[in-house]
Structure 1
Amino acid sequence: MSAKEKAADPAQAQAGNEAVSRISEGTQDNKELTRIRISVGDGQETPVFKAGEKASLQINVFNSGNMDAQDVRIAPVIEDADSWPFELDKLNYEQKLGTLQAGQQASAFWGAGDGKLTVKSDVTGKAYKLVFRITYDDGKTGYETEKYIFVKTEAKEKPAEGGDSGGQESGGQGQPGESNGGASQSGSLNQELDGGGFINNDPVISGGGGTESGSGSVPRVIVTGFDTEPGEVHAGSDFKLIVHLKNTSQRTAVSNMVFDLQAAASGTEAAAEAPAFLPSSGSSSIYLEKIAAGGTKDIAIDLNARADLIQKPYGITMDMKYEDSSAVQYEAQSSLAIPVKQEARFEFSEIRIAPDTVSVGEEANISCSLYNLGRVKMYNVKVRMEGEMIEAEEQFIGNLDAGGTGTIDSIVTAVKETAGNEECKLILSYEDDAGNVNTAEQKFPMTVMQEMIPEDMEMMAGEIPEEGHTPAGMIIAIIVLAAAGITAAVVLIKRRKKKSRGLEEEELFDEVERFTEDER
């Protein structure tokens, strides 16, 4: 019985992508599944084969699972001769590796000893994707999976030409000739570069006046960088992409150049996949008449970034077609990765003040909700209340995920009387992915009355007779009684306010709870 496993994602140009076989043992109570996990090419560099040479190919096969793989066999999948860079001089290329224990590695060799592989003499210097079928079993069930690696080739040497260079791999950020060491694997043109950048691949002859250039060399047109206007590309906005080109040949000019730019598709389950960037004019092709030997030129195109893109780099593949002075036609391909920024979007709910009117020296509770409506995370969110009539401490909310809700709940103290409603500010600050601090304000009105004087104190003060008509003892007694009355009044007022505030907070909590139940 054989189960076919799915191969690794072909968009990842990386040898050693993993497939997993899992065999359940016992009941569902078992905490660990026994598994066989096969990968290829671990720790190996991409091999390079020169046209016409005798060579050997070694591939490491690793079992990173916790169960032995038995009767392991590996063989290349050759669908047509053009997909295999070696001469087909054998009927069977299968290699037997025997039992591959858990955590162990074995190597498969093609071309060992006298049976060397012969690299085809007509390889053009491109990269080949070699697919291998691996079969194995666990003692009960047989399994089959397909893995792939990439190998590079070098065409036959031609007369040296000053200034010509091979395929270039760069990680620049759009400045001509600038490189930041971005790495890639040949043959993967649509891969994303984490920080943005570009990749160049070698040209191939596609037709025209002969099989090679009239000067005996292949003129290469490469991307040396790119710029965008504006400098940052925001989702949903228009921008201009300016690509810097260079003809590396010091002898041969190239002409009749056509460039076609295609953005990688991007989408979610809720939205059909579509290109991340679309040309504003409707055409993705650019024509350039000529680049002189050793010369540079720029091409530009107006694009629009989709509004629903998340914040990350998105790839653009640029296909190039051009001719040399002998009308030999060439095709080449470069890839660019353009970082896209997403603006943070958020809203405040209605700001509630409890109680709605306070006196100097009293406290009020100010609360609302913060909704993150954007597609980016808000980091280190903080809130503070500002106004001439209030004092408050800063509140730290923390990180707020896209689509999340934060609660703002602050206590302010009234310090100054207002003439009716006066304006206060809720000031929000947060950081983006790069650590840049952003702020926003939300205004709200607030009323502060003068400090309240207890009625008992006013009444007692009014009953004090004028000096000279009342005995001193009675004056002292009245003062003592007045002080006691004031103290009792203050305590009573504070208790009433505390009780009132508690009832208001309880009503607010009930409203929130009812709202939550309605949402459910």
Structure 2
Amino acid sequence: MRGMRKWKRWAVFLLLFVVLAVGGSRTAQAEMLDMTKYNDDLITVSKVPHGKAGNKISIKMTVHNNGTKGDNYLKKIRLANAEEYKTLYTYDDDDSDSDSDISWTGKHFPFEADSNTFKEKKIDVKPGSSKSVTLTYKLRRDLPAGYYQAFFYIDEMPVGINIWVSAYDGSSTEEDDNTKLDYDFSIGDNQQTPYAGYNQVMDFGVNLTNTGLKKVYDVRVDMQLDADITKFPFDINEGNYNRKMGDMEPGQMVTVPYSMMVREDVKSGFFPIHYLVTYREEEGGEFSEPVDKVFYVRVKGKDDDELSADAGEQDRTKARIIVDSFETIPAEIYAGQPFELRVRMKNASSDVAASNIMFTFASEEVENTPIFTSESGSTSVVVNNMAPGATADLSMVFKAAPTAEQKSYRMTIQEQYDSPEFKNAKEEVKIALPVKQEPRLNTSTIDVMPDAIEVGSETNVMFGINNTGKVILYNVMARFEADSIQPADAYVGNIKPGETGNVDTMLTAIAPTTDDGKVKIIISYEDENGVVSETEKEMLLNVSEAFSDDGMDGMDGMDNGMDADADAAQAGGAGRIAPMLVIAALVGAGAGVVVWKRKKKKIAGEKALEDELEEELDNELGEPEMTTADVSEDETKDVEKEQNDHLKRKKK
């Protein structure tokens, strides 16, 4: 039946050639011709494609396979070239006397031709079904405005449609033309070809972009499966791989996710995967005809392993995994303290994937002891796969050895992984981790001599500063601060680990102490980067007011009075001095007895003697006061004798 239709078409074409040879001709670019009889329901077009001369035009049509079960697929479509245009005619108005026939010349071919213009496109429309197909070509710049015809071959059966071309105005660009269609999509924008080996899972996404002018609703993407391993490289584990992507605004891109296991017996190479995209032009409306889009994946089969087994290491390709960045939390690592190491690894290969990756952290050792130890005990991390350019974040908690010296130590990251052509590849990368030691010091006994001074006086302060840590203390100083002293600094210098720096300085008192007498000692030091740290100590120092000379004035007055008394005594005669001295002696003796009485121990054997002495003293002091005039020389001698006897008894 189809062969009969094809014979009739060629008969019509031959007849038109004869008519055109006899009759005149007219140009085609201004005519919109009737294509319904010519296309014989093989294709339909919902609206005439529009384009601008010099720009691209997208031609959307729906291909129908009206056959029944058992008939062949409609497999491919291509654009007819300029020579084929000369043998194709697009119009017959059933009027044999009409001069409406058209002759074709090369100038009516509306497209610019290059190596891709006439390539076949796979459509695979099965019997009884339809498929939406969009083809894009560049229009010639010299086309006048008007209607033109585009001719195609579907499995060598010619079909044609009308297109409208507006004249070139010098302002159009190819970018403007990309959004000429109201509804259109592109696939695979801004992404690399996914890659995986046999028996591996390929996790990948397909970027789908709405390149049309209008919003589309309820977009659905259906991956086309095929049991033929030469056409479809993945195991089929689901009933369908239809993905619902929702509504899409113009210019919006979505990623359609897939996770597929590569077949074990697949052959290496690139495989085209077909995706049918359907959508609604209006919310709640009918679904459009499916738009067929193709996306390529690359797989590696066992056939590559046969070559790799005999190849040397330098002849086989493998992934290159590097350290992209790393950090520690906290930022500074101190000996004896835990820290978290975060490392971002990157597959720096442009086209080689890595799988079954094991990263092992190995610390530098000092005297067969690792500087960094894992708190969990394990030092390995496993990553399933890394595509070319992909990254993986590793994290592990370590503790630096308490005895580690202050410097940088190596951490080696050992890598073992598979690449498509290289199994159990082994590499290693290194990073440097600086370790710091906490500075430590203490002080010896602080000597203050004297620890009590008057205002204006000085005291000497001495003590030692011991470096008990493992790092040098640079530019050590001691600063003294208190309200009672003048602020003072003492420079000590650098102190090596295990050594002592001495402080020996004088402090000057400027005010009396009003508090508990504490003086603040601030010890400062620097690290190797000049960062200053301080620690604080205390000492005691009491400051009092200075002694005044005003008290000596009273003593001078007493001296003057005594001088006056001496003069008076001299005027009264020397005979009066002796009795006065005797009285003074008696009074002094009595006072001495009183002091002795208060301090003596109460011993029973001495009680009688004490009573006797007190009675004699009372008798002596109880006499009426005598003047020097009343005391004779003999009486004075008697008193002195009595006093001497009294002292002898006291000694006994």
TM-score tier after normalising by the smaller chain length? 0.3 to 0.5
What is the TM-score when the length of structure 2 is the normalising length? 0.37
Larger helix proportion, structure 1 or 2?
2
What is the TM-score when the length of structure 1 is the normalising length? 0.46
Larger RCO (alpha carbons 8 Å, 6+ apart): 1
Larger strand proportion, structure 1 or 2?
1
